[in-house]
Structure 1
């Protein structure tokens, strides 16, 4: 366990928190509603990429500078690059302590704060800007601690226990793909967008065979649209703890929810990391269990239809911004065949090719 304190005056700025992997949807926006917190209570995650302002327009950035910042392609919908410090720390808003808003930095797009002006929270003791609260509509609610304004201090408390893969497979903590009213879970749209970029790279531009079911619904349609037509040259499958072995060329493997490390497949399969909650549901689909009376049981042949199983209202689409943002940070995007896919997705706008 740890707390974060002000680097100037040592005021404690958070409740005790444990480190977990940064969620795939950390910088994903969705709809025009108020979204829940990005982080679970009592947790924090570190963003390894540059984060937040100052923002540098693409017109001032050449290919060499962009590559030095880890960006190898420019999407037309991305107008600038974040040039803030890397290592920002994400915590749930409810886990913050001893911070006050900076009124002149509390701008937003619609219903809340979007962090466009930089740190908007100051240490209540010394007044130093230390964090940025984000809670506008379409954005996951989070407080980003500025890495140069805070320090991490260990505290007494329960030791962080890193669960092994076998335990995680037994617990099967999955993220449901469909929400109420038939909306696809936006966490799935972001997680599949990240993994889809890596699957494209691993494919080498060759057609892929994808098993039927939910895997085909979430990955198969996009791959069919983006890769060339023809007999599949490679196969995509799931691999990981609790599953039988596979000799598929490309395998989707889980990311450890605490460490962020990917489960390692057996060679020669190429592993593509996928958010653990999404992977768990694909690997171990959760069957809907009909309600059972507290006493007695259901008569033979009787099946309740309340509540009805959740079904999506439309076909699944991975988030295009997440897909493009992930591809842009992979050096392979400079290869002509993959850059062609990048430009196709970028040019379609909301009419995505999948």
Structure 2
């Protein structure tokens, strides 16, 4: 567990938090509704790539400069902000004050602007930006040069893989699943090498089947995709393994495709079973009603293409001619998503 302190005065700015992988949907935007907190209480994540202000349009950036910022294919704009910004839940902040006039071009809440909109209450140093505008996850992004990580000496809790249902409470598909599928699809295409892939059934088919059938060959040699991770040893015959984002080594000799823990758990772990022992079969005409299966949304599952393009543009593999051609083709057919 760690606490983040103000670099200038040493005041504590967070509760004790444990590091987890960066959620793939962290930079996504979702409609005009109020969004929940992105991070679970007591956790933090680090974005290893540059993010935030200042931005420069792609046309104004040299290729070498873009690649130095971790961008390897055309995007609308390239961030020249700091790498290593720290993401926490708003409820885990301590000893800070909001500066509303530093909010960016927001609508119904606050968002990051050119200056951080949160300051250390002890010394006034600008340390972080709060985001809670409509369509934005509620989150606090701490500036890496304004805070420092201080270990508490307490061990972080062991990861618990709790399945995250693909349906949202409101009856649609989960934004977290759509974001996870967008990021994982980018890694899956890069790992495929342009070959056909054989997907496992179940949720993996729900997430990827329609898209890979449209983007990858339907015949020829295939790369076998499976699930691996804690408690699920990698099959030695796998070419590509769907693994928890925090356990890439679980892929064994296969190429890893990371998934958030809750999404991975739905693919890897057995479903819910009855808490009572049962024998035999139900009588004819009797239907079980103790564990009703929720109705699925009445439309097809769709990946989050914003997350897909953001992830793929930041994978060095996108420089391969076949994948760059595919990226450019998709940009032309999805101009509003990248």
TM-score exceeds 0.5 = yes
Is 1:10 the counterpart of 2:18 in the alignment?
no
**8 Å Cα contact 1:320-1:345 kept in structure 2:** no
Query: Structure 1 residue 196: deviation in Å?
Result: 1.0
Structure 2: runs of 5 or more not aligned: 277-281
How many residues of Structure 1 are paired with residues of Structure 2 in the alignment? 329
1:159 equivalent among 145, 155, 162:
155
Structure-1 residue corresponding to 2:100? 103
Change (3 A) 1:18 1:213: closer
Residues of 1 paired with 2:45 and 2:157: CA distance?
A: 16
Helix, strand or coil: the match of 1:71?
Answer: coil
Aligned to 1:286, which of 261, 267, 271? 271
Q: Distance in 1 between matches of 2:35 and 2:102?
A: 21
| 1:265 paired to 2:255 | no
Matches within 5 A, 1:163-242: 168=160, 172-231=161-220, 233-242=222-231
Partner of 1:94: helix, strand, or coil?
Answer: helix
For residues 320 and 334 of structure 1, the distance between their equivalents in structure 2, rounded to whole angstroms, comes to 19
1:146 corresponds in structure 2 to: 143
Judging changes above 3 Å, is the alpha-carbon distance between structure 1 residues 117 and 313 closer, same or farther for their aligned structure 2 residues? farther
Normalization by structure 1: what TM-score? 0.85
Aligned to 1:252: 242
Quote the Cα distance in structure 1 between the aligned partners of 2:272 and 2:247. Answer: 28
- Cα separation, 2, equivalents of 1:27 and 1:162: 26
In the TM superposition, structure 1's runs of 4+ consecutive aligned residues that sit over 6 Å from their partners are none
CA contact (8 A) 1:182 1:313 kept: no
2:242 alignment partner, SS class = strand
Q: CA–CA distance in 1 between the matches of 2:239 and 2:323?
A: 19
Deviation of 1:61 after TM superposition, in Å, equals 0.4
Contact kept? 1:183, 1:312, Cα under 8 Å:
yes
Contact 1:15 1:42 in 2 (8 A): yes
Q: Is the 8 A contact 1:52 1:118 kept in 2?
A: no
C-alpha contact 2:234 2:241 (8 A) present in aligned 1: no
Q: Pick from 293, 306, 318: which aligns with 1:321?
A: 306
Deviation at 1:179, TM superposition (A): 1.4
Q: Note the alpha carbon deviations across 1:33-69, whole angstroms, 9 max, x for none.
A: 1111111111111111112111122232011111121
Q: Mean alpha-carbon deviation: is it higher for 335-344 or for 245-254? A: 245-254
Distance 1:340 1:147 in 2: 36
| 1:98 and 1:124 in contact (8 A); partners too | yes
Q: Which moved more, 1:191-200 or 1:233-242?
A: 233-242
Match of 1:296 in 2: none
Instruction: State whether residues 6 and 127 of structure 2, in contact with CA within 8 Å, keep that contact through their aligned partners in structure 1.
Output: yes
| Corresponding residue for residue 276 of structure 1 | 261
In the TM superposition, residue 273 of structure 1 has moved relative to its aligned partner by 2.0
- For structure 1, the 5+ residue unaligned runs are 293-298
> Equivalents in 1 of 2:329, 2:67: separation in Å?
21
* 1:120 and 2:117 aligned: yes
Q: Contact 1:108/1:136 (CA < 8 Å) preserved in 2?
A: no
Q: Secondary structure of the equivalent of 1:271? A: strand
Q: Show the 5 A alignment for 1:53-64.
A: 53-64=53-64
Q: Which residue of 2 aligns with 1:341?
A: 326
Deviation at 1:93, TM superposition (A): 0.6
Normalising by the residue count of structure 2, what TM-score does the alignment of the two structures yield? Answer: 0.89
Deviation at 1:129, TM superposition (A): 0.8
Q: CA RMSD in A?
A: 2.4
Counterparts of 2:94 and 2:229, CA distance in 1 = 39
> How far, CA to CA, are the matches of 1:18 and 1:321 in structure 2?
28
1:36 counterpart SS class: coil
The CA distance in 2 between the partners of 1:20 and 1:250, in whole Å, is: 23
